[in-house]
Structure 1
Amino acid sequence: MTASVRLRLSVLMLLEYFTWGAWYVTMGTYLITALKADAVQVGAAYANLSIAAIISPFFVGLIADRFFAAQKVLGVLHLAGAATLYLISGVQDFSSFWWLILLYTLLYMPTMSLANSISFRQMQDAGREFPSVRVFGTVGWILAGLLIGFAGVETTAATFRIAAASSLLLGIYSFFLPSSQSVKKEVCLSDILGLDALVLLKGRAYGIFFITAVAVCIPLAFYYSFTNPFLNHAGMANAAGKMTLGQVSEFLFMLLMPFLFSRLGVKRMLLLGMFCWILRYVLFAYGDSGAGAWMLYGGIALHGMCYDFFFVTGQIYTDRKAGDNIRNAAQGLITFATYGLGMLIGSYVSGFVAGRFSYLQTAVLHYDWRSIWLVPAAITGIFLLLFIFLFRDDKQ
């Protein structure tokens, strides 16, 4: 891969994740403050991304892989996404917002796979070259958070307009990416759904991991849906900007992954990742005060261990179990289980729980944040104990 191609792919990743990060982190805060949405509605809005994650493999498999060059499909989707984001910024009621954000996520989610596919086709050694390109996605997410935070627009529709501008730029830029012609092959339904990878579930150890991955994503949804509204409630200035500390942590722990993986192994890495999720929720539960501000920063900084030690380790574990023949199908299956099924359930559960611990006071909706955060801590703790018990005989 030449330096010119590397630069073009790096810009692709930066814009891809800048666009997502510009609206996703603060959507809950915007819905609560600007559209006066309740917790259940916030959860329903975030659930749309999981619905799109479930549906998007059909689109990529049936359309992008068969008929059109990937970079052209990417460009069209981002241009349509830019128009949709701009429309979202103008709606004043939750019902219209929900349908438009569903439309946008259906347009956006396939672009993640397409961006990866375009990158892989330009690489001779993806295992060595892809991380140095993909890391610019994390940089893009950080830049989006810093811009939104320092501009002070977390509670306004400007976040969607910023994302729309980024999507428009990326849509145009996509047509100038390296050519990635369609394969024009017959695609079986089993390929699209990753059904070939179901053979992995016959193994006891992987079956336990798979079920645990789905289960852990249920309490995980609390973090994505309600962290930004919570931090703003706690009085943290520039909450969106400071939340990028989590992505910095993710980047640093990603560099440590090869060393830790060889020392600790799969089981200990997964257990440590789950424990960090519990610790994060507990820190949030008891950090809602001036004296406990360090707990809030600690909970944010744990993102690297929470994400890398569970999700990245899980992807590596899946790759090891799958082998060459079903590698792509296996990664599709675990993505469906986590970001699709698990997060979909979790988005609705988190909305229900937050609604259960909300109350009206002087016509203003308030939340009992301590109780809200202790619920996912307890759920994750139960799954952690079950994981230890069921996985006790596995030596990996």
Structure 2
Amino acid sequence: MKLYTNIRLSFMMFLEFFVWSSWYVTMGTFLGANLQASDSDISLAFSTQSLGAIVAPFVVGLIADRYFHAQRILGVIHLIGAGLMFFMYNSTDFSGFFPVLLGYMILFMPTLALVNSISFNQMKDPAKEFSVIRVWGTIGWITAGLLISFFAWDSQAGMEEGLLRNTWLMASVLSLVLGVYSFTLPKTPPQAKSADKTSFAEIIGLDALALLKDRNFAIFFISSILICIPLAFYYQNVSPFLTEIGVENSTGKIALGQVSEVLFMLALPIFFSRFGLKKTLIVAMLAWAVRYLFFAFGDANDGVWMLLVGIFLHGVCYDFFFVSGQIYTDSHAGAKFKSSAQGLITLATYGVGMLIGFWAAGLISNYYSDSEGNHIWGSIWLIPSGISVLVLLFFTLLFKEEKTALPK
């Protein structure tokens, strides 16, 4: 791949994840502080990601793969998204905010597959070239978080002045930039002919359900759904948690989780090759349990190191489980179900698993809070820690070790 094309695709990835990070990390804090949303409302807002993930296969499978160039769809979505973001920037109550957010996420989630499709279409050796492009998405995510803390929008003073609202304006501007920029990206024509017959089951990956006949894969599949329940607690609660207990520059500190993603992504091939799939997944699930224990007993003073370690463990939690899981799924599916299996896992985890997780996180956060909205965070974080331990035991006892090779 030419250097110029590499730079163009890297900038696309940077903008894609910058836009997402601009509002997603701090949304829970924003909704509570600016729109006086309840924990149930915040849970409902985060669940739009899962609903978007469920709809995404239809957009990509039915439209992008058959009728229109991927870069043009990406551009149109982000231009519309810029307008929706600006509307949310001006929102004054949750009832007006939520329908717009739902519409935005139904549009946005398919773009995660579209940027990958645009990238893969330009590559001769995706196994070697894609990681160099994709890492710029993580850099974009980190940059947005650092800027929010640099401008002190997430500080106590900033929230009292309503400055956290500016995250939506920043996302709107960058979405507009990405929308225009997308039309300059390399052409990515539809790969399937519109006349081709593809079943509904194939489009959303349900034909890959045949893989569940294998006991080991079924155990992994169930574990993947269950581990997304504690994952949802992190995405939904970490920003309100740090802000409420008085941690300054909390969004910048949360970005340490993405820094660790980069580091542990580099360590994964070594660990995976040496210890195998089962031990890698066990370490990931153990890291989930430990991080929430650190959150439960840490504080903004002498115990702040526990919070930072918990955030930094995000790389182990995410890379060691989800990336390893994608490798396992790819090797287990074979040529017939390769694409369908990945679609099924995404639908099950980001769709079903996290939808349950966001709902549970809202109920538990509401249960452990007082009439003024203050939370008993220690009790809240012990719940996902306990769930992680139960999933760990389920997987460890029932999953049998098998050899899984890393893609060359």
TM-score (norm 2): 0.94
Q: 2: distance between equivalents of 1:195 and 1:38?
A: 36
In structure 2, what is the equivalent of residue 89 of structure 1?
A: 89
Encode CA deviations 1:39-74: one digit per residue, 9 max, x unaligned.
111111000010010011111111111111111111
What secondary structure is seen at the aligned counterpart in 2 of 1:290? coil
> CA-atom RMSD, angstroms?
1.0
What corresponds to 1:310 in structure 2?
321
Q: Match of 1:260, as an amino acid?
A: F
> SS at the partner of 1:92?
coil
Give the Cα–Cα distance (whole angstroms) in 2 for the partners of residues 240 and 30 of structure 1: 12
Q: Name the structure 2 match of 1:59.
A: 59
Residues 1:275 and 2:283 aligned together? no
The alignment status of 1:173 with 2:181, answered yes or no, reads yes
- Could you report, residue by residue, the CA deviation over 1:298-336 in whole angstroms, capped at 9, with x for unpaired residues? 101101101111111111111110122221111111111
Cα deviation for residue 395 of structure 1 reads 3.9
Partner secondary structure for residue 91 of structure 2: coil
Match of 1:250 among 261, 269, 273: 261
Equivalent position SS for 1:212: helix
- Which of 280, 303, 319 does residue 292 from structure 1 map onto? 303
Instruction: For 1:190 and 1:384, locate their aligned partners in 2 and report how far apart those are by CA, in whole Å.
Output: 31
User: How many angstroms apart in 2 are the aligned matches of 1:56 and 1:388?
Assistant: 32
**Residue matched to 1:202:** 213
Q: Tell me how far apart the structure 1 counterparts of residues 7 and 318 of structure 2 sit (CA, whole Å).
A: 27
Q: Deviations over 1:261-304 (max 9, x none)?
A: 10111100101000000000000000024121110111011011
Structure-2 residue corresponding to 1:45: 45
**What is the rounded CA distance, in whole Å, between the counterparts of 1:125 and 1:394 in structure 2?**
30
Distance in 2 separating the partners of 1:48 and 1:381 = 27
Question: How far apart, CA to CA, are the structure 2 residues paired with 1:206 and 1:325?
Answer: 16
Contact in 1 for aligned 2:10/2:133 (Cα 8 Å): yes
AA aligned to 1:279 is V
User: Following TM superposition, where does structure 1 have runs of at least 4 consecutive aligned residues deviating by more than 2 angstroms?
Assistant: 183-188, 393-396
Q: CA deviation at 1:179?
A: 0.7
Q: Distance in 2 between matches of 1:114 and 1:45?
A: 23
Number of the residue aligned with 2:370: 359
| Aligned residue in 2 for 1:339 | 350
Say if 2:277 and 2:401, in contact at 8 Å, map to a contact too: no
How many angstroms apart in 2 are the aligned matches of 1:232 and 1:105?
25
What TM-score do you get using the length of structure 1 for normalisation? 0.97
Report the AA paired with residue 363 of structure 2. Answer: F
- In structure 2, how many angstroms separate the alpha carbons of the residues matched to 1:350 and 1:272? 24
C-alpha distance in structure 2 between counterparts of 1:204 and 1:394, whole Å: 12
**CA deviation map 1:177-199 (0-9, x unaligned):** 00111233423322211122112
Partner of 2:228: 217
1:394 aligned onto 2:406: no
Distance 2:322 2:245 in 1: 29
Aligned to 1:384: 392
Which amino acid counterpart does residue 248 of structure 1 have in structure 2? V
Matches within 5 A, 1:114-125: 114-125=114-125
Q: Distance in 1 between matches of 2:331 and 2:144?
A: 34
Task: Summarize deviations over 1:347-380 as a string: whole Å, max 9, x none.
Answer: 01000000000102xxx32100000000111111
Q: Find the counterpart in structure 2 of residue 151 from structure 1.
A: 151
Is residue 101 from structure 1 mapped to residue 101 from structure 2 by the alignment? yes
How far did residue 236 of structure 1 move?
A: 1.2
| Equivalent position amino acid for 1:199 in 2 | A
User: Retained in 1: the 8 A contact 2:75–2:180?
Assistant: yes
Q: Which runs of 5+ in 2 are unaligned?
A: 404-408
Does 1:320 find its partner at 2:326?
no
Q: Equivalent residue of 1:359, what SS? A: coil
> How many equivalent pairs are there?
392
Q: Tell me the alpha carbon deviations over residues 109-132 of structure 1, each in whole angstroms, 9 at most, x when there is no partner.
A: 111111100110100011111110
The answer to whether the aligner puts 1:29 opposite 2:29 as a matched pair is yes
| Match in the other structure for 2:406 | none
Please give the per-residue CA displacement for 1:70-109, whole angstroms capped at 9, x wherever unaligned: 1111100000000000001111111111111101101111
Q: Percent identity?
A: 50
Paired letter, 2:172: A
**Is 2:279 aligned against 1:263?**
no
Equivalent residue of 1:365, what SS? coil
Gaps of 5+ in 1: none
1:140-169 deviation digits (Å, cap 9, x = unpaired): 000010011111123421001100111000
Q: Supply the distance in 1 between the matched residues of 2:187 and 2:375 (Cα, whole angstroms).
A: 51
